[in-house]
Structure 1
Amino acid sequence: MKKIIFVAAIFMITFYSNAQSGQFVEDGLLKANLLLPGVSYEFGVGKRTTINTEAIIGFALRGASNVETQFGLYPGFAADFRYYNNFNRRISKGKNSTGNTGNYFGFLNQFQFGTPIIGDLEYASDYYYNVALVYGLQRTYKKGFYFSLAFGPGVFVNEFNTDAGVLIDARLGWVIGGRKKQ
């Protein structure tokens, strides 16, 4: 009986894997970011949806005449859920859709510590958290170069304040290993 269940499970996994081949999104993109140094990994969770996770290092520098120069490197993390909404239109016009090249609606979360891992410049708050509903675009080119821009209404939280505003998120870098789909 256990062998029958095992074979049935393998069969169902194989069938499910083949059923997913109709996805528009890439199964996994490892990206190196330059604007805010770090790495991100975007993986498909549906036909048009992905989750993008990211580890970043923020940098701050403060200095002026008659003031000691201070700096800090701050770790941060981000995750966003993306729904790509224009793959069909891009494909029908003969445009590139590989590397998750498209426009998307997303739910973006960002967290950054206020205490540096290197340096002596400490922020007033111990943490900063941002959450936003965004509209964005991502473009990936043949050699793996990519850029992403997202914006939308958000909430900004630290240990002292909670504010509302517009979040703008920009990324520039390379897909490690290049685009996967052709």
Structure 2
Amino acid sequence: MKQLFFLPVLLLSIFYANAQTNRLVEEGIFKVNALLPGVSYEVGVGNKSTINMEAIIGFALRGATNTETQFGIYPGFAADFRNYINFERRLRKRKNISGNSGNYISFLNQFQFGTPLIGNLEYASDYYYNAALVYGLQRTYKKGFYFSLAFGPGIFINEFDKVTGILVDARLGWVIGGRK
């Protein structure tokens, strides 16, 4: 019986101690992406670390003279673990860190289906997967506008091929619900 009581007390103590830490990242940020339409949620998991999860919609159009115009709308997902590396320096210079405005190193994963949800333009492969170790920056401004740019070496995989290269990922949009 004492063991059943001890476990919940221990877990509540850990959660209470974690809530009292001076976390530099936001607890949660909901963002709407305009450049590549979609939504993302970035949740703080440590003092300077977050997990960012995204659902995106890709669009492709193909057409030319004397050919049928084809289009497709493709679902995609992305997730990355971010470790922000310059919060202390930004604070010393009296710069903004709200909305997780800072530079980060991340392991980025992206997945997109090759079969469209809507439309008749099918890619050669049924899926596309990208994984990269990236250096990025994210800035959030007072009215909620944000941008993010990340780049780094990665691997690009589909059902036919594996290729290495440089991944460049750009986001532009708005934070919903404000910043701290």
TM-score range, shorter chain: over 0.9
What is the match of residue 139 of structure 1?
A: 139
Give 3-state SS (helix, strand or coil) of 1:142's partner: coil
Aligned counterpart, 1:44? 44
Q: CA deviation at 1:9?
A: 4.0
Deviations 1:80-102 (A, max 9, x none): 11110000110000110100000
> How far apart, CA to CA, are the structure 2 residues paired with 1:7 and 1:89?
38
Alpha-carbon offset, residue 116 of structure 1 = 0.1
- In the aligned structure 2, how far is the partner of 1:109 from the partner of 1:11? 34
Q: Compared with structure 1, are the counterparts of its residues 23 and 160 closer, same or farther at alpha carbon in structure 2 (3 Å cutoff)?
A: same
Match of residue 91 from structure 2: 91
* CA distance 1:9–1:51, change in 2 (3 Å): closer
Percent of matched pairs sharing the same residue: 69
Query: Is 1:61 paired with 2:82?
Result: no
Show the counterpart of 1:166. 166
What one-letter code is carried by the residue in structure 1 that aligns with 2:126? D
Give the distance between the partners of 2:29 and 2:71, measured in 1 at CA: 32
Amino acid at match of 1:164: T
Secondary structure of the structure 2 residue equivalent to 1:68: coil
SS in 1 for 2:143: coil
Kindly tell me the number of residue pairs found equivalent between the two proteins: 178
Which residue does the alignment assign to 1:10?
12
CA distance in 2, matches of 1:59, 1:77: 14
Counterpart of 2:69 in 1: which secondary structure?
strand
C-alpha deviation, 1:146, in angstroms: 0.2
Deviations 1:30-87 (A, max 9, x none): 0000011100000111111111000000000001110100000000000011110000
For residues 52 and 79 of structure 2, the distance between their equivalents in structure 1, rounded to whole angstroms, comes to: 5
- Tell me, which stretches of 5 or more residues in structure 1 are unaligned? none
